[in-house]
Amino acid sequence: MRTVIASNGLAIALTVIVILPVTGILAFAISAPLDALMANFGTWLHQVGQWSLPLVDTEERFAKIGFALRSIVIAVGLSFLYFGITNWLNAGLARVRTGRDVGRRAAVIEAIQPWVFVGPALVLLLLFLLIPAVSTVSLSLQDSDGAATLSNYAFLWDRSALGYEQIRYALRNSIMWLVLVPTVCISLGLLIAVLADSTRWGIVAKTLIFVPMAISFVGAAVIWRNIFAGGGIEAQQTINGLTPSYQIGLLKNLLGHSPSYNEPLYAIEFWGNFFLMWILVWVQTGFAMIIFSAALRGVPEDTIEAAKIDGANPIQMFFRIKLPQIFSTVVVVWTTLVILVLKMFDIPYALSSNDDDKLLLATMMENARNNWSVGNDNVENLFASIAVLLMATVVPNMIFNARRIRREQKEMGH
């Protein structure tokens, strides 16, 4: 049976490996004239609309749009073709190799079928995650001449090494973000979910709190930049008229800051990090609230009724009855937020890209690219070392989740 499964799986894999690339190349070759049609369409729009953009740029952009559109269509078509071919081959080869034995045929099909769906994901992970990760680790352990070295990580212990101060700031700030942002989001999300479900207008409240989820991180940064804005000098009379003052942000105005105190709140040394964190909390609290609200609705009513009969008050009801039953949901939300924080780049970069004391590990890579490249032949290796450091912070979270999933599977098995 194992020989049949292995040979059938190998035959399916080889067939797909040959057919899909050939079909994709033919599809791109046949549909290539569409790029010229899109370029001509852009030329027509350019003439009708009398655009100020140069005609050559218009044609190039519309040709790229045409290429992008047909790439999407071809990719979707290849996906359907992949699943169609693999399912057809799986059933057909199993029928040929097992004959009239229906039981063996079903066993072969069921053994191969999961790999049909998991296979593309594994290939993509291998090509775009595992191989680049190994290459990055290897690059971080080499100097510009290819010799093995640990000097690229010297900024972790050598005060005279390039980036020593920046990595200290990045590690400190990343730890603060990892501790505070998930904790505050989960606490507020639980609180709002419980309170909103106990009021008539809870749906409206949850909708308003969930709305920031639809805003991009850069958009959220712009919104709160205006709230945290520092203002500027008072309006002054000049030869050409009146020079207006900069607007003071809402929060600074409420705090009573004058225009002369023009430092934005997010730019304050050290404490500005907490204002940046608040932006992410504002965006992600709605996500935590929705997940917790759905989980709380799944708590069995009989346990709640039993707790009421025993005389439990609302606080005891939450911490002793509801929270233990949704603890796995809390862990899932916490994991999601931790991964999000580790990837956070947009908010701190949009508001304080040049401030060392606001650096995170992700933004430090961009800071290094801008400031370390001049006169440094080893800069790519240094970038790789920072990337490995960022990757290493994700490993404990992956191990924790793998153990949790395995433990839950064992509990479900028993």
pLDDT of residue 67: 95
CATH number at residue 364: 1.10.3720.10
Amino acid at 147: A
For residue 78, the 8-state DSSP code is: H
Q: Is 259 within a domain?
A: yes
Average pLDDT on 27-31 reads 95
Examine the domain organization and report whether 236 and 224 are in the same domain.
Answer: no
- Determine the average pLDDT of the residues in 398-406: 82
Sequential DSSP letters for 118-172: HHHHHHHHIIIIIHHHHHHHHHHTB-TTS-B-SGGGGGGT-TTSTTHHHHHHHHH
pLDDT at 268: 86
Least reliable range by pLDDT among 76-85, 175-184, 312-321, 398-407: 398-407
In a domain, residue 147? The reply is: no
In the predicted model, is pLDDT for residue 347 greater than 90? yes
Q: Sorting pLDDT into bands at 50, 70 and 90, what band is 163?
A: confident
pLDDT in the model for residue 330: 93
Q: How confident is the model at residue 390 (pLDDT cuts 50, 70, 90)?
A: confident
**For residues 175 and 198, which has the higher predicted lDDT (pLDDT)?**
175
Question: H helices within 344-378, ranges in order?
Answer: 346-352, 361-371
Which is nearest to 230 in space by CA: 255, 212, 199, 206? 255
C-alpha separations of 409 from 145, 231, 292, 334, 406 in Å: 49, 56, 22, 20, 5
For residue 46, being part of any structural domain is answered with yes
The predicted structure's pLDDT at residue 372: 75
**Sequence-distant (≥ 6) Cβ neighbours of residue 24 within 8 angstroms:** 74, 78
d(CA 340, CA 328): 19
How confident is the model over 367-386, as pLDDT tens digits?
887 777 666 677 888 888 88
- What is residue 375's predicted lDDT score, i.e. its pLDDT? 60
If asked whether residues 21 and 66 sit together in one domain, one would say yes
With a pLDDT cut of 70, the percent of the chain lying above it is: 93
Res 32 pLDDT > 90: yes
Show the domain range for 238: 230-263
Contact indicator for 26, 132 with CB cutoff of 8 Å: no
Q: How far apart are CA 35 and CA 37, in angstroms?
A: 5
Percent of the chain with pLDDT over 90: 40
Q: Which of 382, 393, 394 minimizes the C-alpha distance to 155? A: 382
167 shares a domain with 23? no
250 and 279 share one domain: no
Q: Which amino acid is at 1?
A: M
Is the Cβ–Cβ distance between 351 and 113 less than 8 Å?
A: no
| 7, part of any domain | yes
Domain boundary among 263, 278, 311: 263
pLDDT band for 66, please (50, 70, 90 cuts): very high
Task: Note whether 319 and 375 are same-domain residues.
Answer: yes
Is residue 26 included in any domain, yes or no? Answer: yes
pLDDT single digits (tens) 235-279 = 555 555 555 555 677 787 777 776 666 778 888 889 999 999 999
- Give the pLDDT score at 260: 64
* Residue 274 shares a structural domain with residue 257: no
Rounded to an integer, the average pLDDT of 297-312 is 88
Using CA atoms, how far apart are residues 10 and 345, in angstroms rounded to an integer?
42
Asked whether residue 318 falls in the same domain as residue 200, the answer is: yes
Residues 241 and 224 occupy one common structural domain: no
Is a pLDDT exceeding 70 seen at residue 24? yes
Compute the distance between CA of residue 300 and CA of residue 296 in angstroms, rounded to an integer. 9
Contact 283, 219 (CB under 8 A): no
| pLDDT confidence of residue 75 | 94
How many CB atoms neighbour CB 140 within 10 A? 22
Looking at the structure, tell me whether residues 171 and 181 fall in a common domain: yes
Does residue 116 lie in a domain region? yes
Residues 215 and 117 in one domain: no
Q: Which residue has the higher pLDDT, 257 or 234?
A: 257
Among the residue ranges 41-55, 186-200, 351-365, the one predicted with the least confidence is 351-365
Question: 239 or 351: which carries more pLDDT confidence?
Answer: 351
Residue 230 or 213, more confident: 213
Q: What is the mean pLDDT of residues 199-228?
A: 89
pLDDT band at 228 (very low <50, low <70, confident <90, very high): confident
Say if residue 304 is in the same domain as residue 400. yes
Q: How many domains does the chain have?
A: 3
Predicted pLDDT of residue 234? 54
pLDDT of residue 340: 92
Are residue 408 and residue 282 in the same domain, yes or no? yes
Rg from Cα positions in the chain: 29
Contact criterion met (CB below 8 Å) for 100 and 19? no
267 DSSP assignment: G
Average pLDDT, the chain: 87
Inside any domain, residue 82: yes
In this structure, is residue 146 part of a structural domain?
no
